[in-house]
Amino acid sequence: MSAIKPALITLILLPVIFLVGCDVDNQTGYLTGGVIQINGSATSEFFSNYVIEIGAGIDPQAWSDEGILLTNDGAAEVYEGILGTWNTSTVGDGNYTILITVTDVFGNFSQDRVFVTIDRTPPNITDVRVVNVTNCSAIIMWNTSEDANRSVNYGTSKDNISMTAPDLDDMALWDLIFGSFSKEHTVYLDLEPSTTYYFEVVSRDFVGHTAVDNNSGEFYNFTTLETVFQHAPQPPRRGGGGGGGRT
């Protein structure tokens, strides 16, 4: 009786993919447009090729490779290097998903994706207003079209807008109270009584696009109230009168 030969087991390993990401600003996932470098790894024991595609939103229903330029046309493995570039001039501002697919010679494939936001536009500032003006303070409020930070440049004349609030020492406290990036902005000013102040508002988004609203160069203005001193009330006078003795 002949010995039974062991079966031949073929182990097919799936392609290994590691998409590190893009050269995003401040690691926020925000891109300023232009040509974006896509970094990562695309390897397999039986490597065939890889492709990169772009889809709109976080759950794309369609994919495109328009604007994509692959390193070595995607025909060679990449390990912790440049997978390709994406010319974002082919798309508008918004949220996008970058999808990479690595395939081996047996048709097995693996995929990974990264989510990014393209933002080429500064915030749009609207509804600048002054509220709660007192003899020593005022609150400046405004809205922006996207999440952004806030500051107010102000002074006692249009030619002397030299003060800024909140200053760097106060920023951490303000961020704790109001949040560092928002669409609704509030800044408190510590002021002198009976003084006219001129101001402009400034907001900068995640990418660094800065918007300034200075009322078309005329600057916004308001005047603080005067300090009114009230005299303490005087005690009532006691009535006097002569007394007569018995006659």
With 0-12 / 13-18 / 19 or more C-beta atoms within 10 angstroms meaning exposed / middle / buried, residue 42 is buried
Using alpha carbons, select from 103, 132, 97 the residue that is nearest to residue 43: 103
Taking the C-alpha atoms of residue 146 and residue 42, their distance in angstroms, rounded to an integer, is 36
Pair 102, 16: CB distance under 8 Å = yes
pLDDT in tens, the chain (247 residues): 444 433 333 333 344 444 434 443 334 467 777 888 888 888 888 899 999 999 999 999 999 999 999 999 999 999 888 899 999 998 999 999 999 999 999 999 888 888 888 989 999 999 999 999 999 999 999 999 999 989 999 999 999 999 999 854 455 555 555 457 889 999 999 999 999 999 999 999 888 899 999 999 999 999 999 987 766 666 676 665 555 555 4
Q: What is the H or E stretch that residue 178 is in?
A: helix 168-178
Cα–Cα distances in Å, from 138 out to 82, 129, 134, 199, 240? Answer: 52, 10, 6, 12, 51
* Cβ neighbour number for residue 222 with a 10 Å cutoff: 18
Q: Which two tokens stand for residue 233?
A: 């009330």
Q: Contact 174/189 with Cβ under 8 angstroms?
A: no
Residue 122: is the preceding peptide bond cis (ω within 30°)? no
CA distance 177 to 184: 13
**Secondary structure element (H or E) that encloses residue 142, with its range:** strand 137-148
DSSP helix/strand/coil, 11: coil
